[in-house]
Amino acid sequence: MEHNAIIEIDSLSYRYPKGRNLSLKEVNYRVKAPKFTAIMGPTGAGKTTLTAVLNGLIPQLYEGNIKGRVLVQGMDTQKFRIQTLVSNVGLVMQDPETQIFGITVQEDVAFGPSNLGLNMETIKERIPEALKAVRLEGYEDRLTSELSGGEKQRLAIAGVLAMQPEVLVLDEPTSELDPVGRSEIYAVVDRLRRHGNLTVLAVEHSSEDIAMRADEVLVINDGKVVWQGEPRLLFCNAPLLQSVGVRPPQVSEYGWQLYQQGLIEQADIPLTVEEAAAVTRKILSDRTIPASSKSVSVKNKRPDSDSPVAVEIKDLHHDYGSVQALRGVNLTIKRGEFVALVGQNGAGKTTLVKHLNNLLQPTTGEVYVDGVSTAGQSIGDLSRRVGYVFQNPDHQIFCSTVREEITYGLRHLDLSSDEIEQKVQEVLGFVGLKGVTERHPFTLGKGERQRLAVASILAMEPNILVVDEPTTGQDWAGAQDMMNLIRNLNREGHTIIMITHDMPIVAEYAQRVVVMHRGQIISDGTPAEVFCQENVLHQASLVPPQITQLAIALADVGMPADVITVDQAVELVTAAACD
Amino acid sequence: MFIEYIPGRSIIHKLDIRPKVIAFICLLVMLFLFPHPAYNAGILLLVLVVAAVARLPFTKIQSIIAPLIPVFVLIVIITGYTYPTASFASDQARRVLFYSWPGHRLPVTVGGLLYGLTLFLRILTMVISSSIVTLTTPLDDFLQLMQILHIPYELSFIITTGIRFVPTMERKASLVLDAQRARGALIETGGMVQRIKAYVPIMVPLIVDSIRMSENLACAMLNRGFGATRKWQSFKKLSLQLIDYLVLISVIALTVLAVYLSRHGYGIL
């Protein structure tokens, strides 16, 4: 047979219709037998473009300039219609919201097969099969609008599986989900891999999720395949990862540092917590970490206890109709604190922070900002004290130039044009956007737009900043830029209240963690204190950073459980090993 | 409107969509046969009985009617003044109730007021009866009806997708609204022009977002093989039961009777 490969990409280059540069450059890739390939790389590298090439969306829907050849199971994606190719290759995209067509779950699963013209008996057989594969058995008659994000994304996968493709392509399937949704999706991927001969390609930023799953990693940067091979070889090479903008699993970073110290071989750099524990035991042999070293230096110091109170919440309840979203929250935040608010979706985090600027009013209870009750204050007045940066910058941005965007909030204040200009330059300088003052916001990249949203809030000089999931959907470099910006704001004296699902980021940046669960605060302390409370984390469905998991696994050799960063762990182990 | 379907187990819910729609059309015919409000009041009563049988919540119907009340009042007043006396058959209807201007000007006639009342009853009956149909019929039935009527699948697909995205768009709109209010966009205050201006910041992100969503949607449709064939499969197959035939026969008989009555001079003003 001429075509015996499942996927065959031959020197593929592609330019979008209005693109100045090539989005894909001379890409070659071949899959001969079913396997799981992870596609990694920074934002804008061409990962999504590559997924769209695989089922013919490029060039059939998005036109543009394509060179080279793509064959999926011998079918040329430029010659066969997309609607024909879908029976061979199923594509699931990022946003679950726009991939669901049915009012009920079963109608939605049936959408694909009925488009293919299958008869009703076959369709009715495929619905439960597909739902079972994504672990949504019994959901047939549920309304799709009432599903959670993770359930919606699994339904989107079921809808594609119902057409029984042999290749499943997932484009950042978990980037819009919380940790629970994320683990649900990967449980489904594991299941699909175990049962049947499915070839899976997934674009994913989280190296911890794919380290042990992927058979192969394809790293794409600037439209080119810059690295290809087994995950182990990629993750044990920190300089390579740094150069391609991929965040390594924490334990691999830990392993790399031990390797640098000459304590382990490069081949022994771990990928999982278990491997890391084994490696550590080997280094220590029968030594233990001395009890004296247990006082790990506190990374991010909280402000002095006599600093004034910025936010005080007293017995706050909030009901949406019959749903009790907040059930008696008490919280005091001092000026200058950096607080991370964590917990599952639906735990009440967003509901809580919306009380700070009166987007929501208490059902019962009181909220004080800078010592003044919010009751009776307008959102406009409070917006000068409490700045709220929403998760999606595009919801906040609407002007036609960056300058207008910044001055929008200022026009209600009594300022001269000189003062306004000075303010514009000041905030743009702070967020690193000088020189784009006259650009249209939508011509900026996602990270830049997010910084613009922050700048537009900063212009009003609020003391307290609420930041909702600042790193969601960003690549490593983007996330680090954003977090460094927030840290600088905190150092300038702003009180930061950050909602996030990213525990390593919490460990790295926050001074204090508040854990919410079902409308109540179930834990409140420093990251080190909170991350070693296993029962609390379990209740809130939170997974501590890998390095804390490692510390807990190494408790018997004297590793303190409150280790939250890689540097701390390396320091302790090195000291003990060189004893 | 389709999304407001209220599940239930009444006879009205169990009826096939075809007798329901035919009954609705017959009802419209009957409403326009009689200019006299008493006859239309009779029809309205019948419709209210059906609504009660379907166990539709009274508050729901109330919420549909409430905004129409000023319109109703206006209709009755305007017809009272403007309806030409010559068009009435009976003396009673021609009688002038009073003159609102000295010198026998601007007369208000009994017939005019009665006709206004008729218009009011017609609108009310139409609103309530169409709500009965939409509130007791699931969307899927409408789609099947469209298929029976040979309306292209693409069109019915647009309708379902549109409906499916109503809650999504509502959620997005409230997100954008919150994001803007948090920036100090003042929606609640100011005059008419200012308020409309204040909505611009909400509309821009919402429109941009909708365009992005529709682009994604187009991809997702292709990913699911939309357009591979033009055949379309539905879960349930419509089928007529005895009760459906009974309803059809009685509704048609009633309409024939109504036509007969109106031809013989009943129900005129």
What percent of chain A is helix, strand and coil (3-state, nearest 5)? 40, 20, 40
Interface test with chain A among B231, B233, B238, by most A beta carbons within 10 Å: B233
Reduce the DSSP state of residue B143 to 3 states and report it. Answer: helix
CA distance B212 to chain A (A): 10
Question: Using a CB-CB distance cutoff of 8 angstroms, which residues of chain B are in contact with residue A81?
Answer: 228
- Whether the link from the prior residue into A59 is cis, omega within 30° of 0, is yes
Tens-place pLDDT, residues A389-418:
998 888 888 888 999 889 887 877 778 888
Which residue on chain A is closest to B173 by alpha carbon? A395
DSSP percent split of chain B into helix, strand, coil, nearest 5: 70, 5, 25
Q: Is B59 on the interface with A (CB under 8 A)?
A: no
The answer, yes or no, to whether residue B78 has pLDDT greater than 90, is no
Interchain pair A98, B222: CB under 8 A: no
List the single residue in A111, A145, A395 with the smallest CB-CB distance to B224. Answer: A111
How close does chain A come to B233, measured CA to CA in Å? 6
Pairing mode of beta strands A36-40, A216-221: parallel
B135 close to B64: Cβ distance less than 8 angstroms: no
Query: What's the burial of A67, exposed, middle or buried (CB within 10 Å: 0-12/13-18/19+)?
Result: middle
Look at A390 and B175 and tell me if their CB atoms are within 8 Å. Answer: yes
Name the residue among A61, A107, A380 with its Cβ closest to that of B186: A380
Nearest to B223 among A84, A91, A384 (CB): A91
- Confidence at residue A8, expressed as pLDDT on a 0 to 100 scale: 95
Interface test with B, best of A398, A450, A454, A466 (most B CBs within 10 A): A398
From A390, which residue of chain B is nearest by alpha-carbon distance? B179
What is each CA distance from B229 to A117, A310, B38, B146, in whole angstroms? 6, 62, 54, 18
| A87 → chain B, closest CA residue | B225
3-state SS record for A33-58: CCCEEEEECCCCCCHHHHHHHHCCHH
B185-244 residues touching A, CB cutoff 8 A? 185-186, 200-202, 204-205, 208-209, 213, 216-229, 231-233, 235
Nearest CA in chain A to B186: A380
Query: Residue ranges of the domains in chain A?
Result: 7-240, 250-298+551-577, 309-546
CA B169 vs CA A145, A354, A509, A572, B210: distances in Å: 11, 21, 35, 52, 8
User: What is the spatial order of strands in the sheet that A372-373 belongs to?
Assistant: A323-334, A309-320, A364-369, A372-373
The CATH number of A7-240 is: 3.40.50.300
Q: In chain A, which residues have their Cβ closer than 8 Å to the Cβ of B211? A: none
Contact B164 A84 (CB under 8 A): no
| pLDDT band, very low/low/confident/very high, at B205 (cuts 50, 70, 90) | confident
* Angstrom distance (rounded) from CA A92 to CA A175: 12
Supply the pLDDT for residue B234: 65
Residue B24 has pLDDT above 50, yes or no: yes
CATH class of the domain whose range is A309-546: alpha beta
B28-70 pLDDT tens trace: 999 999 989 999 999 999 999 999 998 888 887 888 888 888 8
Cβ–Cβ under 8 Å, residues A486 and A407: no
Contact B219 A394 (CB under 8 A): no
Asked if the C-beta of A95 comes within 8 angstroms of chain B's C-beta atoms, the answer is yes
Tokens found for residue A386 = 């409490």
Put simply, the answer to whether B216 touches A93 (Cβ < 8 Å) is yes
Helices B110-136 and B58-65: crossing angle in degrees, nearest 10, is 130
Instruction: Label residue A163 exposed, middle or buried (CB < 10 Å: 0-12, 13-18, 19+).
Output: buried
Q: Each residue of B84-121: pLDDT tens digit?
A: 777 777 878 888 888 888 877 788 888 888 888 999 99
Count Cα neighbours of A560 within 13 Å in the Cβ-side half-sphere: 20
Q: Give the up-direction half-sphere exposure of residue A466: CA atoms within 13 A in the CB hemisphere.
A: 29
Pick A125 or B188 by higher pLDDT. A125
Which pLDDT tens digit goes with each residue over A155-164?
Answer: 999 999 999 9
Determine whether the interchain pair B224/A101 forms a contact, defined as Cβ–Cβ distance below 8 Å. Answer: yes
- Model pLDDT, residue B1: 42
- Do A7-240 and A309-546 show the same overall fold? yes
The answer to whether the Cβ–Cβ distance between B209 and A408 falls below 8 Å is no
DSSP state of A104: B
pTM: 0.82
DSSP type of residue B137: S
Cβ contacts from A onto B, under 8 A: 155
Provide the 10 A C-beta neighbour count for residue A3: 12
Mean pLDDT of chain B: 84
A92 touches chain B (CB under 8 A): yes
**DSSP letters of B58-76?**
HHHHHHHHGGGHHHHHHHH
Tell me whether A557 touches chain B (CB under 8 Å): no
Per residue in B124-145, pLDDT tens? 999 899 989 988 888 778 878 8
Of A52, A107, A394, the CB nearest to B209: A394
Given a cut of 70, whether residue B236 has pLDDT beyond it is: no
Encode pLDDT of A239-281 as tens digits: 989 888 888 999 999 999 999 999 999 999 999 999 999 999 9
**Sheet order of strands, A512-517 included:** A386-389, A464-468, A495-499, A338-342, A512-517, A520-525
Chain B residues with beta carbon closer than 8 angstroms to that of A169: none
Position B247 confidence tier, pLDDT thresholds 50, 70, 90: very high
**Chain A environment of B200 (Cβ under 8 Å):** 398
**Cβ(A521)–Cβ(A508) under 8 Å?**
no
Mean pLDDT to the nearest integer, B10-14? 88
Q: Tell me the residues of chain A between 383 and 402 that have a Cβ less than 8 Å away from chain B.
A: 383-384, 387-388, 390, 392, 394-398
pLDDT by 10s per residue, chain A, length 579: 455 789 999 999 999 988 888 999 999 999 999 999 999 998 889 999 999 999 999 999 888 899 999 999 999 999 999 999 999 999 999 888 899 988 889 989 999 998 898 888 999 999 999 999 999 999 998 888 888 888 999 999 999 999 999 999 999 998 888 888 888 899 999 999 888 789 999 999 889 999 989 999 999 999 999 999 999 999 999 998 988 888 899 999 999 999 999 999 999 999 999 999 999 999 988 888 887 665 455 567 777 778 899 999 999 999 998 889 999 999 999 999 999 999 988 899 999 999 999 999 999 999 999 999 999 898 888 988 999 999 888 888 888 899 988 988 787 777 888 888 888 998 998 888 888 888 898 888 888 888 899 999 988 889 999 999 998 878 888 899 899 999 999 999 999 999 999 999 999 999 999 999 999 999 999 999 999 898 999 999 898 999 999 999 999 998 988 889 999 999 999 988 876
Q: Looking at the DSSP assignment, which residues form a beta bridge with residue A332?
A: A312
Q: CB-CB: which of B161, B179, B208 is closest to A390? A: B179
Query: Which candidate, A446, A451, A452, places its Cα nearest to that of A402?
Result: A452
Half-sphere exposure for A214 (CA within 13 Å, toward CB): 28
- Write the residue in A61, A87, A383 that is nearest to B183 by C-beta: A383
* Chain B residue with the nearest C-alpha to that of A161: B224
Q: Does B140 touch chain A (CB under 8 A)?
A: yes
Q: What letter represents residue A322's amino acid?
A: S
